[in-house]
Amino acid sequence: MKKHNYSAGPCILPQEVFEKGAQAVLDFNNSGLSILEISHRSKDFVAVMDEARALVLELLGLEGKGYQALFLQGGASLEFLMVPSNLMKVNGKAAYLDTGTWANNAIKEAKLFGHTDVVASSKEQNYNHIPTNYVIPADADYFHCTSNNTIFGTQMKSFPITNIPVVCDMSSDIFSRALDFSKFDLIYAGAQKNMGAAGATLVVVKEEILGKSGRIIPSILDYEKHIKAESMYNTPSVFAVYTCLLTLQWLKNHGGIAGIEKINEAKANLLYSEIDRNPLFKGTAAIEDRSTMNATFLLNDESHAPIFDAMWKEAGISGLPGHRSVGGYRASMYNALPLESVQVLVDVMKQLEKVVCE
Protein backbone atom coordinates (compact mmCIF):
# COMPACT_ATOMS: atom_id res chain seq x y z
CA MET A 1 0.00 0.00 0.00
CA LYS A 2 1.19 3.52 -0.80
CA LYS A 3 2.23 5.41 2.32
CA HIS A 4 1.29 9.05 2.85
CA ASN A 5 4.13 10.47 4.93
CA TYR A 6 3.18 13.38 7.21
CA SER A 7 6.31 13.13 9.37
CA ALA A 8 7.55 16.46 10.72
CA GLY A 9 11.16 15.48 10.08
CA PRO A 10 13.06 13.66 8.78
CA CYS A 11 10.56 14.26 6.07
CA ILE A 12 9.20 12.95 2.82
CA LEU A 13 11.45 13.41 -0.22
CA PRO A 14 10.69 13.11 -3.94
CA GLN A 15 10.72 9.56 -5.28
CA GLU A 16 13.34 10.41 -7.87
CA VAL A 17 15.65 11.61 -5.09
CA PHE A 18 15.34 8.22 -3.39
CA GLU A 19 16.05 6.43 -6.67
CA LYS A 20 19.08 8.54 -7.62
CA GLY A 21 20.39 8.44 -4.06
CA ALA A 22 20.02 4.66 -3.94
CA GLN A 23 21.94 4.30 -7.19
CA ALA A 24 24.70 6.55 -5.86
CA VAL A 25 25.01 4.35 -2.77
CA LEU A 26 25.75 1.44 -5.10
CA ASP A 27 27.82 3.28 -7.70
CA PHE A 28 28.37 7.03 -7.76
CA ASN A 29 28.93 8.60 -11.20
CA ASN A 30 29.99 5.23 -12.66
CA SER A 31 33.11 5.43 -10.51
CA GLY A 32 32.79 1.92 -9.12
CA LEU A 33 32.62 3.49 -5.65
CA SER A 34 29.70 4.30 -3.40
CA ILE A 35 28.83 7.89 -2.47
CA LEU A 36 29.27 6.62 1.10
CA GLU A 37 32.94 5.84 0.60
CA ILE A 38 34.33 8.45 -1.78
CA SER A 39 36.69 11.13 -0.54
CA HIS A 40 35.09 14.48 0.17
CA ARG A 41 38.12 15.94 -1.61
CA SER A 42 37.51 13.95 -4.77
CA LYS A 43 36.70 15.81 -7.96
CA ASP A 44 33.26 14.20 -8.12
CA PHE A 45 32.19 15.33 -4.67
CA VAL A 46 33.71 18.81 -4.91
CA ALA A 47 31.51 19.23 -7.98
CA VAL A 48 28.48 18.17 -5.90
CA MET A 49 29.28 20.69 -3.19
CA ASP A 50 29.92 23.50 -5.67
CA GLU A 51 26.69 22.85 -7.56
CA ALA A 52 24.61 22.56 -4.38
CA ARG A 53 25.92 25.83 -2.99
CA ALA A 54 25.38 27.63 -6.29
CA LEU A 55 21.89 26.20 -6.73
CA VAL A 56 20.86 27.42 -3.27
CA LEU A 57 21.72 31.00 -4.21
CA GLU A 58 20.05 30.66 -7.61
CA LEU A 59 16.78 29.37 -6.18
CA LEU A 60 16.73 32.05 -3.48
CA GLY A 61 17.49 34.81 -5.97
CA LEU A 62 20.70 35.76 -4.17
CA GLU A 63 23.29 35.23 -6.90
CA GLY A 64 25.76 38.10 -7.13
CA LYS A 65 24.37 39.83 -4.03
CA GLY A 66 27.22 39.19 -1.62
CA TYR A 67 25.91 35.99 -0.06
CA GLN A 68 27.62 32.67 0.57
CA ALA A 69 25.86 29.31 0.94
CA LEU A 70 27.39 26.77 3.29
CA PHE A 71 26.56 23.17 4.11
CA LEU A 72 27.55 22.58 7.72
CA GLN A 73 26.69 20.09 10.46
CA GLY A 74 25.16 20.11 13.92
CA GLY A 75 21.63 20.96 12.81
CA ALA A 76 19.86 24.20 13.54
CA SER A 77 20.70 23.61 17.20
CA LEU A 78 24.38 24.33 16.55
CA GLU A 79 23.37 27.49 14.69
CA PHE A 80 21.79 28.70 17.92
CA LEU A 81 25.42 28.99 19.08
CA MET A 82 27.08 29.98 15.83
CA VAL A 83 24.84 32.99 15.24
CA PRO A 84 25.69 34.83 18.47
CA SER A 85 29.31 33.65 18.24
CA ASN A 86 29.68 35.46 14.93
CA LEU A 87 27.24 38.36 15.24
CA MET A 88 26.87 39.41 18.87
CA LYS A 89 29.52 41.97 19.74
CA VAL A 90 31.50 41.87 22.95
CA ASN A 91 29.29 43.70 25.47
CA GLY A 92 26.63 43.90 22.77
CA LYS A 93 23.10 42.56 22.64
CA ALA A 94 20.70 40.74 20.37
CA ALA A 95 16.93 40.86 19.83
CA TYR A 96 14.87 37.65 19.58
CA LEU A 97 11.25 36.90 18.76
CA ASP A 98 9.95 33.93 20.78
CA THR A 99 7.40 31.98 18.73
CA GLY A 100 7.98 28.36 19.73
CA THR A 101 10.21 25.69 21.20
CA TRP A 102 13.09 26.17 18.78
CA ALA A 103 13.02 29.95 19.05
CA ASN A 104 13.11 29.55 22.82
CA ASN A 105 16.09 27.20 22.56
CA ALA A 106 17.90 29.73 20.38
CA ILE A 107 17.27 32.39 23.02
CA LYS A 108 18.75 30.20 25.76
CA GLU A 109 21.97 29.77 23.78
CA ALA A 110 22.24 33.46 22.89
CA LYS A 111 22.07 34.38 26.56
CA LEU A 112 25.39 32.59 27.04
CA PHE A 113 27.04 35.26 24.87
CA GLY A 114 25.47 38.47 26.13
CA HIS A 115 22.32 40.46 26.71
CA THR A 116 19.42 38.91 24.82
CA ASP A 117 16.27 41.00 24.50
CA VAL A 118 13.10 38.97 23.89
CA VAL A 119 11.04 41.57 22.02
CA ALA A 120 7.82 39.54 22.14
CA SER A 121 6.60 36.04 22.98
CA SER A 122 3.49 33.93 22.51
CA LYS A 123 4.60 31.38 25.12
CA GLU A 124 1.80 32.22 27.56
CA GLN A 125 -0.75 31.18 24.89
CA ASN A 126 1.16 27.95 24.16
CA TYR A 127 2.61 29.56 21.05
CA ASN A 128 -0.69 29.50 19.17
CA HIS A 129 0.02 32.74 17.27
CA ILE A 130 2.80 35.01 16.00
CA PRO A 131 3.21 38.17 18.13
CA THR A 132 2.75 41.57 16.46
CA ASN A 133 3.41 45.22 17.27
CA TYR A 134 6.74 44.60 18.93
CA VAL A 135 9.69 47.00 18.85
CA ILE A 136 13.16 45.93 17.77
CA PRO A 137 15.93 47.86 19.55
CA ALA A 138 17.88 49.91 17.04
CA ASP A 139 21.12 49.25 18.91
CA ALA A 140 20.84 45.46 18.83
CA ASP A 141 23.56 43.63 16.91
CA TYR A 142 20.94 41.54 15.09
CA PHE A 143 17.30 40.43 15.17
CA HIS A 144 16.50 36.69 15.20
CA CYS A 145 13.21 35.04 14.28
CA THR A 146 11.90 31.58 13.37
CA SER A 147 9.82 31.63 10.20
CA ASN A 148 7.82 28.45 10.82
CA ASN A 149 7.06 26.55 14.00
CA THR A 150 6.63 22.83 13.36
CA ILE A 151 5.31 21.91 16.79
CA PHE A 152 2.65 24.60 17.06
CA GLY A 153 1.70 25.01 13.40
CA THR A 154 2.33 28.76 13.09
CA GLN A 155 4.20 30.64 10.39
CA MET A 156 5.36 34.22 9.97
CA LYS A 157 3.51 35.72 7.00
CA SER A 158 5.51 38.95 7.08
CA PHE A 159 8.81 40.07 8.55
CA PRO A 160 9.75 43.30 10.31
CA ILE A 161 11.67 46.06 8.60
CA THR A 162 14.74 47.08 10.55
CA ASN A 163 18.17 48.56 9.92
CA ILE A 164 19.98 45.87 11.90
CA PRO A 165 20.90 42.44 10.46
CA VAL A 166 17.98 40.01 10.28
CA VAL A 167 18.63 36.34 11.05
CA CYS A 168 16.00 33.70 10.37
CA ASP A 169 15.75 30.02 11.25
CA MET A 170 13.91 28.60 8.21
CA SER A 171 14.43 24.96 9.06
CA SER A 172 10.87 23.88 8.34
CA ASP A 173 9.80 26.12 5.46
CA ILE A 174 12.96 26.85 3.47
CA PHE A 175 12.32 26.75 -0.32
CA SER A 176 8.56 26.45 0.23
CA ARG A 177 7.38 29.97 -0.60
CA ALA A 178 8.54 33.02 -2.50
CA LEU A 179 10.07 35.75 -0.34
CA ASP A 180 12.51 38.57 -0.90
CA PHE A 181 15.39 36.65 0.62
CA SER A 182 17.69 39.66 0.28
CA LYS A 183 15.82 41.12 3.29
CA PHE A 184 17.59 38.52 5.42
CA ASP A 185 21.26 38.78 6.31
CA LEU A 186 21.58 35.21 7.55
CA ILE A 187 19.31 32.21 6.98
CA TYR A 188 19.87 28.77 8.43
CA ALA A 189 17.96 25.52 8.10
CA GLY A 190 18.35 21.90 9.03
CA ALA A 191 18.04 19.91 5.82
CA GLN A 192 15.82 17.17 7.22
CA LYS A 193 12.53 19.06 7.33
CA ASN A 194 12.12 20.13 3.71
CA MET A 195 15.39 19.88 1.82
CA GLY A 196 17.12 16.54 2.18
CA ALA A 197 18.41 13.86 4.50
CA ALA A 198 19.30 14.51 8.12
CA GLY A 199 22.93 15.39 8.70
CA ALA A 200 23.42 18.64 6.80
CA THR A 201 22.61 22.20 7.78
CA LEU A 202 22.27 25.01 5.26
CA VAL A 203 23.55 28.48 6.12
CA VAL A 204 23.15 31.42 3.75
CA VAL A 205 24.98 34.49 4.99
CA LYS A 206 25.73 37.97 3.69
CA GLU A 207 29.49 38.27 4.00
CA GLU A 208 29.51 41.95 4.94
CA ILE A 209 27.93 41.26 8.35
CA LEU A 210 30.79 38.99 9.47
CA GLY A 211 34.01 39.81 11.28
CA LYS A 212 32.54 42.61 13.41
CA SER A 213 31.89 40.92 16.75
CA GLY A 214 35.27 41.69 18.31
CA ARG A 215 35.30 38.30 19.99
CA ILE A 216 37.53 35.26 19.52
CA ILE A 217 35.49 32.61 17.72
CA PRO A 218 36.42 28.92 17.91
CA SER A 219 37.41 27.86 14.40
CA ILE A 220 34.64 25.31 13.91
CA LEU A 221 32.06 27.99 14.79
CA ASP A 222 33.54 30.69 12.55
CA TYR A 223 31.49 31.33 9.40
CA GLU A 224 34.41 33.11 7.75
CA LYS A 225 36.59 30.05 8.10
CA HIS A 226 33.89 27.85 6.58
CA ILE A 227 33.47 30.29 3.68
CA LYS A 228 37.23 30.34 3.06
CA ALA A 229 37.29 26.53 3.05
CA GLU A 230 34.24 26.37 0.72
CA SER A 231 32.25 24.25 3.19
CA MET A 232 35.18 21.84 3.52
CA TYR A 233 36.72 23.08 6.78
CA ASN A 234 36.00 19.64 8.21
CA THR A 235 34.67 16.54 6.51
CA PRO A 236 31.14 17.39 5.34
CA SER A 237 28.15 15.06 5.49
CA VAL A 238 28.78 13.73 2.00
CA PHE A 239 25.60 11.73 1.45
CA ALA A 240 23.38 14.35 3.11
CA VAL A 241 24.80 17.11 0.89
CA TYR A 242 24.32 14.95 -2.18
CA THR A 243 20.69 14.32 -1.21
CA CYS A 244 20.22 18.07 -0.83
CA LEU A 245 21.60 18.60 -4.31
CA LEU A 246 19.19 16.05 -5.78
CA THR A 247 16.28 17.71 -3.98
CA LEU A 248 17.33 21.18 -5.16
CA GLN A 249 17.58 19.90 -8.72
CA TRP A 250 14.10 18.40 -8.41
CA LEU A 251 12.77 21.72 -7.12
CA LYS A 252 14.33 23.69 -9.97
CA ASN A 253 12.90 21.27 -12.52
CA HIS A 254 9.43 21.68 -11.02
CA GLY A 255 9.21 25.43 -11.33
CA GLY A 256 11.46 26.49 -8.48
CA ILE A 257 10.11 28.16 -5.37
CA ALA A 258 7.31 29.98 -7.19
CA GLY A 259 6.09 26.71 -8.68
CA ILE A 260 6.14 24.75 -5.44
CA GLU A 261 4.48 27.59 -3.54
CA LYS A 262 1.30 27.20 -5.61
CA ILE A 263 1.17 23.49 -4.84
CA ASN A 264 1.85 24.08 -1.14
CA GLU A 265 -0.96 26.63 -0.95
CA ALA A 266 -3.34 24.21 -2.64
CA LYS A 267 -2.47 21.48 -0.12
CA ALA A 268 -2.87 23.78 2.88
CA ASN A 269 -6.16 25.23 1.60
CA LEU A 270 -7.58 21.75 1.05
CA LEU A 271 -6.76 20.55 4.56
CA TYR A 272 -7.62 23.73 6.46
CA SER A 273 -10.95 23.99 4.64
CA GLU A 274 -11.86 20.52 5.90
CA ILE A 275 -10.69 21.28 9.45
CA ASP A 276 -12.92 24.37 9.50
CA ARG A 277 -15.88 22.65 7.81
CA ASN A 278 -15.90 19.38 9.70
CA PRO A 279 -17.70 19.68 13.09
CA LEU A 280 -15.50 16.95 14.56
CA PHE A 281 -12.24 18.92 14.28
CA LYS A 282 -10.72 22.26 15.23
CA GLY A 283 -7.40 23.91 14.44
CA THR A 284 -5.00 24.96 17.19
CA ALA A 285 -3.22 27.91 15.56
CA ALA A 286 -4.62 31.40 14.99
CA ILE A 287 -6.15 31.40 11.52
CA GLU A 288 -4.04 34.33 10.29
CA ASP A 289 -0.84 32.57 11.39
CA ARG A 290 -1.55 29.04 10.17
CA SER A 291 1.45 27.29 8.70
CA THR A 292 1.32 25.95 5.15
CA MET A 293 3.89 23.37 6.19
CA ASN A 294 2.50 22.02 9.48
CA ALA A 295 -1.24 21.94 10.13
CA THR A 296 -2.08 21.23 13.78
CA PHE A 297 -5.60 20.19 14.76
CA LEU A 298 -7.61 18.42 17.44
CA LEU A 299 -10.72 16.30 17.72
CA ASN A 300 -13.50 18.16 19.52
CA ASP A 301 -14.35 14.88 21.24
CA GLU A 302 -11.35 12.75 22.14
CA SER A 303 -13.56 9.67 22.42
CA HIS A 304 -13.49 9.56 18.62
CA ALA A 305 -9.69 9.19 18.57
CA PRO A 306 -9.55 5.36 18.46
CA ILE A 307 -11.88 5.27 15.45
CA PHE A 308 -10.07 8.08 13.63
CA ASP A 309 -6.64 6.62 14.36
CA ALA A 310 -7.64 3.24 12.99
CA MET A 311 -9.09 4.86 9.87
CA TRP A 312 -6.07 6.96 8.92
CA LYS A 313 -3.68 4.10 9.58
CA GLU A 314 -5.81 1.84 7.38
CA ALA A 315 -5.59 4.49 4.63
CA GLY A 316 -1.77 4.26 4.65
CA ILE A 317 -1.18 7.54 6.47
CA SER A 318 1.98 7.79 8.57
CA GLY A 319 3.38 10.37 10.99
CA LEU A 320 0.12 12.13 11.86
CA PRO A 321 0.14 12.30 15.71
CA GLY A 322 0.79 15.78 17.07
CA HIS A 323 3.67 16.80 19.29
CA ARG A 324 3.08 16.24 23.00
CA SER A 325 3.13 20.03 23.55
CA VAL A 326 -0.06 20.41 21.53
CA GLY A 327 -1.56 16.94 21.30
CA GLY A 328 -4.02 15.92 18.63
CA TYR A 329 -2.65 15.73 15.11
CA ARG A 330 -0.04 17.40 12.94
CA ALA A 331 -0.02 17.09 9.18
CA SER A 332 3.37 18.13 7.84
CA MET A 333 2.92 19.06 4.19
CA TYR A 334 6.46 19.61 2.98
CA ASN A 335 7.38 20.25 -0.64
CA ALA A 336 7.50 16.61 -1.74
CA LEU A 337 4.14 15.62 -0.24
CA PRO A 338 1.71 15.30 -3.18
CA LEU A 339 -1.75 16.86 -3.18
CA GLU A 340 -3.07 13.31 -3.52
CA SER A 341 -1.89 12.50 0.00
CA VAL A 342 -3.72 15.50 1.44
CA GLN A 343 -6.89 14.38 -0.33
CA VAL A 344 -6.56 10.96 1.29
CA LEU A 345 -6.45 12.56 4.75
CA VAL A 346 -9.39 14.82 3.97
CA ASP A 347 -11.40 11.82 2.74
CA VAL A 348 -10.69 9.99 6.01
CA MET A 349 -11.85 13.04 8.01
CA LYS A 350 -15.08 13.09 5.99
CA GLN A 351 -15.48 9.38 6.48
CA LEU A 352 -15.17 9.82 10.26
CA GLU A 353 -17.88 12.49 10.16
CA LYS A 354 -20.15 10.11 8.28
CA VAL A 355 -19.57 7.30 10.78
CA VAL A 356 -20.03 9.45 13.87
CA CYS A 357 -22.81 11.77 12.77
CA GLU A 358 -25.11 9.39 10.89
Candidates 72, 92, 110; CA nearest to 187 is 72
The sign of the torsion formed by the CA atoms of 342, 345, 347, 350 equals: negative
- Paired residues of 168 in beta bridges: 145, 187
Active site residues: 102, 169, 193
Show the DSSP H helices in 111-193 as ranges: none
CB 233 within 8 A of CB 226: yes
Strand partners, 188: 169, 203
- For the chain, how big is the Rg over CA atoms in Å? 21
Residue 57 vs residues 8, 47, 54, 187: alpha-carbon distances, Å: 25, 16, 5, 12
Return the bridge partners of 282, or none: 298
How many angstroms separate the CA atoms of 125 and 152, rounded? 11
User: Helices 256-277 and 43-60 meet at what angle, rounded to 10?
Assistant: 60
How far is residue 352's CA from residue 279's CA, in Å, rounded to a whole number? 11
* CA 204/CA 315 separation, integer angstroms: 39
- Is the distance from CB of 7 to CB of 336 less than 8 angstroms? no
